[in-house]
Amino acid sequence: MSGLSLDIPEPIKRQLRQEAGFGCCVCGNPVFQYHHIHPRGSVSSHDPAQMLVLCPNHHHEATIGALTEDEQRRWRGHPENMARGYVDGLLKVTSRGVAVHVGTNDFVGPGFKFVVDGEPLLALDADESGRLQLSLDLYDSSDSLLATIHRNEWSAGDPLPWDIEFSHRRLQLRRKRSELTLSINATEEPLRLRGQLWRHEQLFEMDAAALRFNGVGRNVSFVELGFVGMYLSADTTTGSFQIVPEPRFGQAMFVIWPDRAERLEKCFAALQQLEEKAV
């Protein structure tokens, strides 16, 4: 991932996220930015008492003065997620690991990655409490970097042309309210991942049937399988996909089982074995 803003110390970011219930203080949106209640140029340090977490839209409103200082302080004292009881935010998954359904197959591990030409394009991780964290680089069809999200923080690029829809355990990202870029449905396990992502002028599509690379199906040789401790890797020079073991484990496991629910449980059991061996 690229273009990160690292000037705010991590302990302060963590404090602000916790105080806000891991989402925008106004609406609860799990994709957010950090805002200084006083204009950034008028303060000499990052004082968490003078800061709050806001989604890109409400951050813009606060920056242009449409969200007054009094309103900002009121929302800071009564964040939406905390008021609704979502102290862990809107994106919560199992603490056993991250289980993702892509095409007809399941990927189970400490996180999920889609790597293109050696660089992560999409990553889903869960923290120690099971809160889902999204990292994503957004490119257009000409390979221009449009935006970067790092662990749910919109850290680079103009967010205003993007439409973010969210609810409890759901997140959708669209460009200009029309093109579905990414959909995360974590209301069931494994979570469903759908979307259309560009990189190096190549289109990667994920839907219920397949993972396609510029419209060409690439998972025709495996269906209804469980991949444990692995991630997806694409090479645009050869037009190929690979299933790669996570380096931290040094090995991986396949699970072949006809019943989907039972297969998922066997995948989590296999993940536990990999983690125990890696210690």
**Average pLDDT for 198-205:** 94
Bridge partners of 50, per DSSP, are none
175/180 Cα distance (integer angstroms): 7
Residue whose entry in the numeric block shows the structure tokens 């996180």: 111
Percent of the chain, pLDDT > 70? 92
Which range, of 39-53, 81-95, 130-144, 204-218, averages the lowest pLDDT?
Answer: 39-53
pLDDT at 221 over 70: no
pLDDT of residue 111: 94
- pLDDT confidence of residue 204: 94
- State the alpha helices, DSSP H only, in 32-114: 56-64, 69-77, 80-83
pLDDT computed for residue 176 by the predictor: 72
The mean pLDDT value for 254-263 works out to 94
Report the b/e string of 254-265 with b at 16+ CB within 10 A: ebeeeeeeebbe
pLDDT band at 239 (very low <50, low <70, confident <90, very high): confident
Would you put residue 241 in left (φ > 0), alpha (ψ -120 to 50) or beta?
beta
Number of alpha carbons in the 13 Å side-chain half-sphere of residue 261: 1
What is the predicted pLDDT for the residue at 3? 37
Q: With 50 as the cut, is the pLDDT of residue 2 above it?
A: no
- Dihedral angle computed from the Cα positions of residues 185, 165, 126 and 151, in that order, rounded to the nearest 10 degrees: 150
* Residue 125 per-residue DSSP state: E
- Span of 82-86, 166-170, 227-231, 234-238 with lowest mean pLDDT: 234-238
Q: How confident is the model at residue 244 (pLDDT cuts 50, 70, 90)?
A: very high
Mean pLDDT value across the chain: 91
Reported confidence tier of residue 68, pLDDT bands at 50, 70, 90:
very high
Q: Is 3 within 8 Å of 155 (Cβ atoms)?
A: yes
Q: Is the pLDDT of residue 247 over 80?
A: yes
Which pLDDT score, from 0 to 100, does residue 240 have? 86
